[in-house]
């Protein structure tokens, strides 16, 4: 049985606040199921205080409002869940996607103290200028404009003071609630809720580490160094820590501000192609993609160059995952529903109890909708919206990075279509997919797995003498025991014994019938009917009857 909530002074007040918010939005039954009130010394009459929010709202809307009221950790949880249609029905996904991360800014003095503590120097010595009014404020950090002593124009991203303490407290509570939900609700039979909570905690802690975000920016700049149409800001490492990030400030027009782009004379079709080139290269070539591509994170600089910002949330795709995606893309283009199901099973996204026939039926229904339609008329967002209920219905456990990829592709497609309504993302990506498919088939790609296999066999060969000597020593001392377990072994052996007996009898009867049949012509039954003749005929008839009985017995057992 799952243990109760963490009963510390540090967490107790926060637990009570969470319970009150849940009850207020009509989740008193959940609170009662988890038996939270006794642990928190809260009266049971609190459950009767839950009043419907006016005007009456559906369950998804109440979930979103409760998460917003509970603060940054729960807002981030909702945003992560909005990318996981394998966990929630589509109407919840749609509602949670509306969660906003904008909050009022923190006063300047605590932020100033945080910067000076992190960079270990007075602000006046660190920067030539520093504007105390933030240019952006979110639940985890605030962004300021500044100038370095050498004249470089930068932006400084500062973690909100004390936010880490709040986050860690909330993550501890979420971990406890996940264990309670696992033990006391049917969800625990389908999902690994503590594992999901642990993954979310790791994702959120990574987003809070600005040192890691700076390295993400460096990796993107290295990967995209040959793409002159893309610009990644420089990281100033002397002014960067785990809680403060200083980047080159880039100027441009917000990528979805169509009027401003037209007034500036920017080629919107060229901008759309550059955006498509960026995401396709990130996914198929680099395996590292920007996973938060909302319009506020991209600006259009002169000559249709796209400048990217905010590298806190990124997705990672291994070479194997990219290979699986290309294979899935190929069978999908061929409208091969059986091939799609086979590939999903190969990728390990289905559970052992998957209804293969039902899944194939749903996939076939989805493919029929797009049969005969040119790729240019297919929209990634529509396909994802169609896939979400299928994923939820069949509990397809795709890795979180793949759901992030789906959301990223849909957002980038939306930006691209706003820039150029005729953009065909599938046609643009086709050469990249074809090139990757050729790389998969190339003997050069077999080298690394082959070398790894040889290395594994070499390691095993090196272990054989030592392990073999140990086994022989144990055998000599009489300590080696070998246990073989086979379910229903006796029944199986009995069936094999019967089968062998039946086969032996069949062979003997066949030999007897044939032998007696060969003897009969040797006797002239019209002239003499002696005892030997009668015995031969009787034996032949008897053997034939036994043969017919054996055939009947075999047929009857087959029907059973």
> In angstroms, rounded to a whole number, what is the distance separating the alpha carbons of residues 412 and 101?
20
Q: What is the pLDDT of residue 37?
A: 73
* Alpha helices (H) along 209-244: 210-223
In degrees and rounded to multiples of 5, residue 51 shows phi and psi of: -115, 145
> In angstroms, rounded to a whole number, what is the distance separating the alpha carbons of residues 97 and 292?
12
The 3-state DSSP class for residue 64 equals: helix
Q: What is the pLDDT of residue 120?
A: 94
The dihedral through the CA atoms of 79, 82, 87, 88 has a sign that is positive
Going from the C-alpha of 116 to that of each of 111, 443, 545, the distances in angstroms are: 9, 55, 104
Measured at the CA of 467, the angle between CA 465 and CA 469, to 5 degrees, comes to 65
**What is the DSSP code (8-state) at residue 185?**
S
Q: Residue 145: which residues within 8 A CB-CB, separation 6 or more?
A: 130, 131, 135, 153, 154, 155, 156, 249
Q: Which fold has domain 102-165+192-249?
A: Phosphorylase Kinase; domain 1 (3.30.200)
Residues present in the chain in total: 560
Q: What is the pLDDT of residue 7?
A: 46
User: With DSSP H G I counted as helix, E B as strand and the rest as coil, what are the percentages for the chain, rounded to 5?
Assistant: 65, 10, 30
Annotate 121-130 with b (16+ C-beta within 10 A) or e (fewer). Answer: eeeeebbeeb
Going from the C-alpha of 453 to that of each of 440, 458, 465, 468, the distances in angstroms are: 18, 9, 20, 22
Supply the residues annotated as catalytic. 292
pTM above 0.85, yes or no: no
The dihedral through the CA atoms of 136, 140, 146, 150 has a sign that is negative
The parts of the chain modelled with pLDDT lower than 50 are 1-2, 6-7, 54-55, 559-560
The 3-state DSSP class for residue 144 equals: strand
The dihedral through the CA atoms of 103, 104, 105, 109 has a sign that is negative
State CA 452 to chain mean position distance.
Answer: 26
Going from the C-alpha of 145 to that of each of 113, 126, 233, the distances in angstroms are: 17, 13, 14
Domain residues of the chain, as ranges?
9-101+166-191, 102-165+192-249, 261-441, 444-474, 491-559
Going from the C-alpha of 107 to that of each of 37, 70, 123, 134, 137, the distances in angstroms are: 36, 21, 16, 10, 11
Two tokens, residue 356: 């293969």
The 3-state DSSP class for residue 207 equals: helix
Nearest one of 339, 323, 284 to 442, comparing CA atoms: 323
Q: What is the pLDDT of residue 559?
A: 47
Q: What is the pLDDT of residues 143-166, one digit of tens each?
A: 999 999 999 999 999 999 989 888
The answer to whether the beta carbons of residues 126 and 239 sit under 8 Å apart is: yes
Q: Please state whether 71 falls in left (phi above 0), alpha (psi between -120 and 50) or beta.
A: left
Q: What is the pLDDT of residue 397?
A: 76
Q: Residue 408: which residues within 8 A CB-CB, separation 6 or more?
A: 279, 289, 290, 291, 293, 315
Nearest one of 344, 250, 228 to 299, comparing CA atoms: 250
Q: What is the pLDDT of residue 2?
A: 46
* Alpha helices (H) along 120-267: 123-126, 163-184, 193-208, 210-223, 258-263
Q: What is the pLDDT of residue 375?
A: 62
Q: What is the pLDDT of residue 150?
A: 95
> In angstroms, rounded to a whole number, what is the distance separating the alpha carbons of residues 256 and 203?
28
Q: What is the pLDDT of residue 486?
A: 57
Task: Give the β-pairing of 230-231 and 305-308.
Answer: parallel
- Cβ burial, residue 51 (10 Å; 0-12/13-18/19+): exposed
């Amino acid at each position: 049985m799952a243990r109760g909530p963490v009963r510390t002074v540090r967490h107790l007040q926060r637990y009570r606040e969470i319970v009150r918010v849940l009850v207020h939005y009509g989740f008193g039954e959940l609170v009662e199921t988890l038996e939270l009130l006794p642990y928190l010394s809260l009266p049971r009459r609190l459950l009767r205080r839950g009043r419907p929010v006016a005007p009456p709202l559906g369950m998804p809307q109440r979930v979103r409002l409760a998460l917003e009221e509970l603060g940054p950790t729960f807002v981030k949880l909702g945003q992560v869940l909005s990318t996981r249609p394998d966990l929630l029905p589509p109407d919840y996904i749609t509602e949670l996607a509306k969660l906003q991360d904008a909050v009022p800014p923190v006063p300047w003095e605590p932020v100033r103290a945080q910067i000076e503590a992190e960079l270990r120097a007075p602000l006046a010595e660190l920067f030539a200028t520093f504007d105390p009014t933030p240019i952006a404020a979110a639940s985890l950090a605030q962004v300021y404009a500044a100038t370095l002593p050498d004249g470089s124009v930068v932006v400084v991203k500062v973690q909100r003071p004390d936010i880490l303490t709040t986050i860690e407290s909330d993550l501890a509570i979420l971990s406890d609630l996940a264990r309670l939900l696992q033990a006391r609700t049917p969800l625990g039979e389908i999902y690994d809720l503590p594992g999901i909570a642990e993954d979310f905690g790791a994702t959120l802690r990574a987003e809070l580490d600005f040192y890691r975000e700076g390295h993400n920016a460096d990796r993107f700049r290295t990967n995209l160094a040959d793409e002159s149409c893309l610009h990644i800001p420089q990281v100033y490492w002397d002014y960067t820590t785990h809680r403060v990030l200083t980047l080159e400030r880039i100027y441009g027009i917000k990528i979805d501000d169509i009027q401003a782009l037209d007034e500036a004379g920017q080629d919107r079709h060229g901008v759309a192609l550059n955006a498509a080139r960026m995401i396709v290269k990130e996914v198929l070539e680099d395996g590292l993609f920007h996973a938060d591509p909302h319009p506020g994170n991209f600006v259009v600089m002169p000559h249709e160059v796209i400048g990217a910002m905010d590298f806190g949330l990124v997705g990672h795709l291994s070479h194997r995952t990219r290979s699986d995606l290309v294979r899935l893309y190929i069978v999908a283009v061929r409208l091969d529903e059986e091939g799609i199901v086979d590939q999903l099973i190969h990728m390990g996204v289905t559970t052992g109890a998957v209804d293969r026939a039902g899944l194939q039926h749903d996939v076939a229904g989805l493919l029929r909708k797009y049969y005969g339609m040119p790729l240019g008329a297919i929209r990634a967002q529509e396909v994802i919206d169609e896939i979400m209920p299928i994923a939820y219905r069949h509990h397809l456990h795709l890795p979180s990075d793949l759901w992030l990829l789906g959301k990223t592709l849909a957002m980038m497609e939306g930006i691209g279509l706003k820039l150029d309504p005729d953009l065909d993302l599938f046609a643009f990506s086709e050469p990249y997919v074809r090139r990757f498919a050729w790389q998969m088939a190339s003997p050069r790609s077999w080298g690394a797995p082959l070398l790894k296999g040889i290395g594994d066999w070499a390691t095993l060969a090196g272990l054989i003498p030592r392990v073999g000597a140990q086994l022989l020593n144990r055998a000599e001392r009489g300590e080696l025991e070998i246990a073989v377990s086979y379910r229903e072994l006796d029944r199986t052996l009995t069936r094999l014994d019967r089968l062998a007996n039946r086969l032996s009898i069949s062979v003997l009867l066949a030999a007897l019938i044939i032998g007696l049949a060969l003897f009969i012509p040797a006797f002239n039954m019209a002239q003499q009917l002696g005892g030997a003749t009668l015995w031969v005929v009787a034996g032949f008839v008897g053997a034939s009857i036994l043969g017919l009985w054996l055939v009947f017995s075999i047929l009857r057992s087959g029907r059973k």
